[in-house]
A and B are shown apart, each in its own frame.
Chain A
Amino acid sequence: MNSEQTRKLIALSAIWIALLLAPYWMVPLGGYTALATRVLVLGLAAMSVNFLLGFTGVLSFGHAAYFGLGAYGAGLTLKYLAASTPLSLLAGMLLGGICGGILGTLIVRRRGVYFAMVTIAFGQVFYYIAFRWNSLTGGDDGLRGFSRQPLDFGLFKIDILSSANNFYFFVLFCFALIVGVMGFILRSPFGRTMIAIRENERRARFLGIPVERHIWIAFTLSCFFMGFAGALYALVNNFADPRGLHYSQSGDFVIMAVMGGMRSFWGPLLGATVFVVLQDYLSSVTVNWMSFVGLLFVLVVLFFPRGLLGFLQRSKA
């Protein structure tokens, strides 16, 4: 094993240990467990956006739609279909992923700014549906009247509703599952064709890669991940909010990804951490918290174009 591999292994262990122990070190530092849970879920969403942005090189500005669809999918399942947490997660993921896959067939024909515009347009369609369809979605007030259910293993049950720590570890388990799948795909031949498309679309095409089809697969996969993150988010809040589908929410995910470092796998998680913690802290001080996050974002983009994680990695090397 060479030194670079060793360093990667140490960094990876550090990340997982920090995540595993988060409920124990966050509280003394003035945080609380539910904040760590939010970081994980929004971090997963930012990583899903980055699966497309950082590793395929296409910018979706409407991914909140699939996040929101996941949330409504989970909420509606719990409210009307089955009182089962795993089923609600599955339903949310399927709803986000399938809608993404269908719309993706239209979206992937466009590139660059047109791709971003079309994703915004389709995203807003879902936003208005959630906003207007009062009888099903609760409209402006959001979807209420459901809550996450205990995990039933037959012999015993785990309470994730009232125990913040139990719920955190459940979310961490889900997070690890999806992040593992992402990492596995990125290290596969298919993942390498994604990177080829990011690096040079023309060359990818002239290696015999049907670029549109591969972008569609990457887009659809990221919508599945996004739907899953959205479903988790509905469980975090016991609530699904139409504003979770709005394009400004998509913008927040892109900010997290870019601020953290979109060329690195873990960058968006760092970006989401900074974003969520700042939001939590600043919003108790000022209603204009977003302007401070915005300022930080501008500074990062200007001075650390590879994001916070890119900066950290370089200063270490």
Chain B
Amino acid sequence: MNVLEINNVTKRFGNLVAVSGVSLNVAKGELCAIIGPNGAGKTTFFNLISGFFPPTSGSITFDGRDITRLATNQRVTLGMARTFQITEIFPELTVFENVRISAEVAGGYRLRPWISRVEAAQVHARVEETLKLVSLETKTDRLVGELAHGDQRAAEIAMALALKPHLLLLDEPTAGMGDQETYQITQLIRRLHRDSNYTIVLIEHDMRVVFHLADRICVLDQGRMLAQGTPQEIAANEKVQAAYLGNAA
């Protein structure tokens, strides 16, 4: 069964066609990586999925439901969570508080002016469990704004996970990281995919990460879907090689 079905979406900004007639199906439990040269429309494509803006044409279906026109927060409520290329966190709150907000929203308590002890304990347990998953359990009381870059990304992923999403969207999870941090985040995503069975779509520039993680790779170039396939197929694809080499030259 497909978690996400994207059918022929196009997004224009004035005269610029940022995404042009792209289709993509993501099956449950799959890890799909989107790659492409700079300006290929990857982030725009991501923003269409997560509801930053509606597509000019085409449709998007999530868990069998048409979400093309739904607002961001409604998509999140349906089970879609994302992280950003530039980490989006609550810098002046602690790691625990960051994830607690997420867990409380997921628990349906966001409009509540009170919370019972039992509910608070459930939220607490959920936060601890999530922080353990991303290996931040020893840093719960630190302010997120003061953490190292890699830990901030892990915290952002933890906030997404605390929402219990059916689909996790990661926009360049290893952007701006050194080798050690890249390795740790890669291992984390691998665990989420293999052990916890999350369905993940990610954008990534680092080809080692992509080929290590992905079940399937989609190559975007100039707003179009250039190729889709397993890592082996993509590595052997001449059009893809041309797009990357052409861009570099």
Interface pair B88/A206, CB less than 8 Å apart: yes
Are A189 and B110 CB-contacts (below 8 A) given A203-B159, A208-B105?
yes
Determine the distance from Cα of A41 to Cα of B175 in the docked complex, in whole angstroms. Answer: 51
Determine the distance from Cα of A192 to Cα of B110 in the docked complex, in whole angstroms. Answer: 8
Q: A111-119, A149-157, A193-201: which lies at the B interface?
A: A193-201
A-contacting residues, B67-105, CB 8 Å: 71-73, 76-77, 81-82, 84, 88-93, 97, 100-102, 104-105
CB distance from A239 to the nearest CB of B (A): 35
Question: In this assembly, does B117 line the interface, its C-beta being within 8 Å of a C-beta of chain A?
Answer: no
Question: In this assembly, does B109 line the interface, its C-beta being within 8 Å of a C-beta of chain A?
Answer: yes
Residues of A close to B114: CB separation below 8 A: 184, 188
Determine the distance from Cα of A193 to Cα of B110 in the docked complex, in whole angstroms. Answer: 7
Partner of A190, one of B90, B97, B112: B112
Most central of B90, B91, B112 by chain A CB within 10 Å: B90
CB distance from B115 to the nearest CB of A (A): 5
Most central of B50, B72, B93 by chain A CB within 10 Å: B72
Question: In this assembly, does A185 line the interface, its C-beta being within 8 Å of a C-beta of chain B?
Answer: yes
Chain A proximity mask over B29-44: 1 for CB below 8 Å, otherwise 0: 0000000000000000
Question: In this assembly, does A302 line the interface, its C-beta being within 8 Å of a C-beta of chain B?
Answer: no
CB distance from B236 to the nearest CB of A (A): 37
Are A205 and B72 CB-contacts (below 8 A) given A189-B110, A193-B105?
yes
Interface pair B76/A206, CB less than 8 Å apart: yes
Interface pair A199/B109, CB less than 8 Å apart: no
Residues of A close to B102: CB separation below 8 A: 207
Chain A residue nearest to B50 in the complex (CB):
A206
Question: In this assembly, does A132 line the interface, its C-beta being within 8 Å of a C-beta of chain B?
Answer: no
Residues of A close to B91: CB separation below 8 A: 199-200
Interface pair A196/B72, CB less than 8 Å apart: no
Residues of A close to B100: CB separation below 8 A: 192
Question: In this assembly, does B214 line the interface, its C-beta being within 8 Å of a C-beta of chain A?
Answer: no
Interface pair B77/A192, CB less than 8 Å apart: no
Interface pair A192/B101, CB less than 8 Å apart: yes
Most central of A188, A199, A214 by chain B CB within 10 Å: A199
**How many residues of B are in contact with the other chain, CB < 8 A?**
31
Residues of A close to B167: CB separation below 8 A: none
Chain B residue nearest to A196 in the complex (CB):
B101
Determine the distance from Cα of A188 to Cα of B93 in the docked complex, in whole angstroms. Answer: 15
Are A207 and B105 CB-contacts (below 8 A) given A199-B92, A199-B93, A200-B90?
yes
Question: In this assembly, does B242 line the interface, its C-beta being within 8 Å of a C-beta of chain A?
Answer: no
Residues of B close to A206: CB separation below 8 A: 50, 72-73, 76, 81-82, 84, 88
Residues of B close to A191: CB separation below 8 A: 113
Are A207 and B113 CB-contacts (below 8 A) given A192-B100, A200-B88, A200-B90?
no
Interface pair A192/B73, CB less than 8 Å apart: no
Question: In this assembly, does A211 line the interface, its C-beta being within 8 Å of a C-beta of chain B?
Answer: yes
Question: In this assembly, does A103 line the interface, its C-beta being within 8 Å of a C-beta of chain B?
Answer: no
Chain B proximity mask over A198-230: 1 for CB below 8 Å, otherwise 0: 011011011111110010010000000000000
Are A209 and B112 CB-contacts (below 8 A) given A189-B104, A195-B93?
no
CB distance from A54 to the nearest CB of B (A): 12
B-contacting residues, A19-35, CB 8 Å: none
Are A189 and B112 CB-contacts (below 8 A) given A205-B73, A208-B73, A209-B105?
yes
Determine the distance from Cα of A206 to Cα of B91 in the docked complex, in whole angstroms. Answer: 16
Partner of A209, one of B50, B88, B110: B110
Residues of A close to B115: CB separation below 8 A: 188-189
Question: In this assembly, does B201 line the interface, its C-beta being within 8 Å of a C-beta of chain A?
Answer: no
Are A185 and B76 CB-contacts (below 8 A) given A193-B101, A196-B101, A199-B90?
no
Question: In this assembly, does B163 line the interface, its C-beta being within 8 Å of a C-beta of chain A?
Answer: yes
Residues of B close to A195: CB separation below 8 A: 90, 93, 101
Residues of B close to A203: CB separation below 8 A: 88-90, 159
Are A208 and B76 CB-contacts (below 8 A) given A189-B112, A192-B100?
yes
Residues of B close to A196: CB separation below 8 A: 90, 101
Residues of B close to A210: CB separation below 8 A: 71, 73
Interface pair A192/B104, CB less than 8 Å apart: yes
CB distance from A209 to the nearest CB of B (A): 6
Chain A proximity mask over B213-231: 1 for CB below 8 Å, otherwise 0: 0000000000000000000
Question: Given A202-B84, A207-B102, A207-B159, list of 8 further CB < 8 A pairs?
Answer: A189-B115, A191-B113, A192-B97, A193-B110, A199-B93, A203-B88, A203-B89, A209-B105
Instruction: State the B residues within 8 Å of A (CB).
Output: 50, 71-73, 76-77, 81-82, 84, 88-93, 97, 100-102, 104-106, 109-115, 159, 163
Q: List 5 A-B contacts (CB under 8 A).
A: A188-B112, A190-B110, A191-B113, A192-B104, A200-B91
Instruction: State the A residues within 8 Å of B (CB).
Output: 184-185, 188-193, 195-196, 199-200, 202-203, 205-211, 214, 217
